[in-house]
A and B are shown apart, each in its own frame.
Chain A
């Protein structure tokens, strides 16, 4: 069964705007990762945040983790048309068996 639920399921924004995606999960985790997937392609790793971390940055990406609420968010700032893709969170419990969320389909309009 799915571990994570992502919200929203789909998001459409204008280029230059920020995009925020949320991920909620059900059980305790060791770490949480965010991935991007272009249509019909494999996964691109974006960022990993460990359970003892609250926030991480990587370029235009900002990820937060709230283990008390069992939720994480991914913020993409100053979005570009090339950011159009599906975004998934994946939770790991220490066994390297990652369970993926339902995903958010982001569309950035030029």
Chain B
């Protein structure tokens, strides 16, 4: 079946630094991907819609300059957390839309970010 891969699975970074998380669709092309964040024991909150070749669409309350999204190819979207702070520590999950016959959404395994 279709697979969405996220990298890294775990990352620890220092406050003030930036960290990049990748989301790849491995065997299908995805013009649209989505980024979610999840705090411990809470639900997933949609952060933004990543559109290939154009700007991402951010949900209300999500800082565009802090969470930079780049969708430069049909199989890769990246989320960069800039000037990270401890409160950015969270589980980040992406999903990708397979526009093939199944027209289905697939989720990645998620990336744990810890800012120290």
Contacts and interface: CB of A to CB of B under 8 A. Distances in A.
A82 to B, nearest CB: 18
Contacts, number: 46
A88 interface: yes
A102 interface: yes
A41 interface: yes
Contacts of A59: none
Contact of A98 (B6, B105, B110, B112): B105
Interface in A60-102: 88, 92, 96-102
- Which size bracket describes the interface of A in this complex? 10 to 19
Interface string A29-52: 000010100001111010000000
Given A43-B93, A96-B105, A88 B32 contact: no
B93 A98 contact: no
Contact of B108 (A33, A42, A45, A99): A42
B71 interface: no
Contact of B46 (A88, A99, A101): A99
- What are the 9 A-B residue pairs with the smallest beta carbon separation, nearest first? A42-B109, A43-B107, A100-B44, A42-B110, A96-B97, A100-B43, A103-B43, A102-B43, A96-B105
